[in-house]
Structure 1
Amino acid sequence: MNSDPSRTANDLSQRFALDVQGFDSLRAQVNASPQAGLKMAAQQFDAVFTQMMLKSMRDATPSDGPFDSHDSASFTSMLDQQLSQQMSSKGIGVADAMLKQLMRNAGQGGGDANAGNNAALNALANAYSNSAANGALAAGKGYSANSALTPPLRGDGSSQKVDAFVDKLAAPAQAASAATGIPARFIIGQAALESGWGKSEIRKTDGSSSHNVFGIKATKDWTGKTVSTLTTEYVNGQPQRVVEKFRAYDSYEDAMTDYANLLKANPRYAQVLNSSHDVAGFAHGMQRAGYATDPHYAKKLISIMQKMA
């Protein structure tokens, strides 16, 4: 197994940006060479940040020319991701700053390097998981939801985390259920899908919880707290990484109250509220109403709620 840090870093920078095995490869290399792990993970995080910057630059550029189309936008997005991957070999300074912070947290020079490695991998995993899948909860097209691709129900000890997640939201969900008529189990199931059972919950810059387990965006009429994070929007069925601003709450009770108010105030969800007596009706109703752009959102939601039955 290759343990040369410089060669490993170069291999990662040359990897195809959309190769989903890239993160697994990085984790394996970190385990094989702990001292090089911090630099490698920080470099990859630099690539993610660079891609966000390129995306913002593209958004600020007019795109209504005769040669512009949805297809060209998709290929441009793929190109930007690949460019950011290759540019990460030199970096734009984010990796260096992150590396210094992780080294301080790990207490390098007297601490455990693995602590820094784990922190780096967790930060990188959060960046990817927050961009795993995202839909749009639209009051008009105003809101969106951050969808977890796979619920942690694999018999690997995660059942305790699931129980803790359900217990944490039980009381707030009951209150939201009373306000909307939607069974509390359905509400918790949707929160589980949106936040990956809390694993990919949107967090503030200091790492604290935003309590936004429904991935509700901060629209222009929102005057409360906000948090920005990397996420994924589905455009014509294709995922695109973007940075979005989401609502932040002081508690899960506040999050549930806001969720209930959104559903009640938006005519889009009137049919959902009137036909929320069964799992399939609720899930497909939410997708038809435009809660998420993920084409498989209803199927995922049904799967989670059936496992909770």
Structure 2
Amino acid sequence: MRFNPPTLSGNSLSTDTRSLDALRASAARDPKAQIKETAKQFEALFMQEVMKSMRAATLSSGMLDNAGSQMGTEMLDQQFATKMTGLPGGLSDAITRQLQRQMGVSPDTDKTAATQALPQLAKKNVAPHVQDFILKHDGAAKEAQASTGIPASFMIAQAAHESGWGKREILNKDGSTSHNVFGIKATAGWTGKTTEVQTTEYIDGRLQKVTAKFRAYDSYADAFKDYAKLLGSNERYKDVVAKAGTGSAETFAQGLQKAGYATDPDYAVKLARTINTTVRVQRALA
């Protein structure tokens, strides 16, 4: 759904009733993403008007001007406007904050602050995809922490280990992501969406390729919620969850392996290493 673009009134951003109602309707599933997209659309329109005004203020020779050259100029201006849209600290950020207040959506304050720290992380040899993954899932992990007591850094790290920092996510048949960053399989009791993919498992000590059915979610937030529910409600993870808040990365990882979370005999060592990396990056963000 497209929205009527917001209008600027004085120094503040305002929207008419129909635009705001349309935004509320389409933003029901993912309000933050929809608001950001709307803000970008407005900024693009605004930048196009700026380019048009600049062209109008420039003297034209008239020698080679025709309908074709005018169309080419307009297309070029649109490309320039698009490239200047969505930059950090730009107009779309201001519009996003205003729309979030009008819609009653909490702003991404933690993520904004963390993003400002990225140049410092680069100096500490932290790979960009590692930074991005941690920032991307920070909010969902903190919500899951509140319900389980498992540190957010532990959960982000496990999602990173299972998905290769987001580079090896489990996909649906159409190539879209299943959002299953924890590699949770669809057991007999699962009634939600599923996707079937080829994976590798240790069977009798040997690594073999098998086809397995995994859970699929509508969002990463749903994946973190389901992970929290799985560990919090399953008796075999009871001891792991109880000690997660006070134990070390190694203790948590060993507990998961002992409870049978994965078949890899080196799972605990690998996961503990990823947890320590995550904690190190989060400290740099603080």
Give the TM-score band, short-chain normalised: 0.5 to 0.7
Which structure's relative contact order is higher, taking Cα pairs within 8 Å and 6+ residues apart? 1
Amino acid at match of 1:213: V
The correspondence of residues 287-298 of structure 1 with structure 2, limited to 5 A, is 287-298=257-268
- Cross-structure match for 1:214: 182
SS of the equivalent of 2:210 reads strand
- Cross-structure match for 1:227: 195
Q: Which of 151, 154, 157 is equivalent to 1:183? A: 151
- Cross-structure match for 2:217: 249
TM-score by length of 2: 0.52
The correspondence of residues 122-137 of structure 1 with structure 2, limited to 5 A, is none
Over residues 75-96 of structure 1, what are the superposed CA-to-partner deviations in whole Å (9 max), with x where a residue is unaligned? Answer: xxxxxxxxxxxxxxxxxxxxxx
In structure 2, C-alpha distance between the alignment counterparts of 1:161 and 1:205, rounded to whole Å: 25
Q: Which of 141, 144, 168 is equivalent to 1:173? A: 141
Which structure 2 residue ranges, 5 or more long, are not aligned?
Answer: 1-122, 280-286
SS of the equivalent of 1:200 reads coil
| Cα offset, 1:179, TM superposition | 0.9
- Cross-structure match for 2:113: none
In structure 2, C-alpha distance between the alignment counterparts of 1:223 and 1:171, rounded to whole Å: 26
- Cross-structure match for 2:272: 302
Percent identical residues: 54
The structure that has the greater radius of gyration is: 2
Question: Retained in 1: the 8 A contact 2:134–2:278?
Answer: no
- The 4+ residue runs of structure 1 with deviation greater than 4 A are none
Q: Which of 204, 207, 211 is equivalent to 2:172? A: 204
In structure 2, C-alpha distance between the alignment counterparts of 1:306 and 1:174, rounded to whole Å: 17
In structure 1, C-alpha distance between the alignment counterparts of 2:142 and 2:199, rounded to whole Å: 29
Amino acid at match of 1:184: A
Q: Which of 236, 241, 246 is equivalent to 2:204? A: 236
The answer to whether structure 1 residue 284 and structure 2 residue 254 are counterparts is yes
In structure 2, C-alpha distance between the alignment counterparts of 1:234 and 1:303, rounded to whole Å: 20
In structure 2, C-alpha distance between the alignment counterparts of 1:158 and 1:207, rounded to whole Å: 29
In structure 2, C-alpha distance between the alignment counterparts of 1:227 and 1:273, rounded to whole Å: 28
Alignment length, in residue pairs?
A: 154
Over residues 259-278 of structure 1, what are the superposed CA-to-partner deviations in whole Å (9 max), with x where a residue is unaligned? Answer: 01110111101110111122
In structure 2, C-alpha distance between the alignment counterparts of 1:181 and 1:158, rounded to whole Å: 27
Cα separation, partners in 2 of 1:220 and 1:271, compared to 1, 3 Å: same
Which structure 1 residue ranges, 5 or more long, are not aligned?
Answer: 1-154
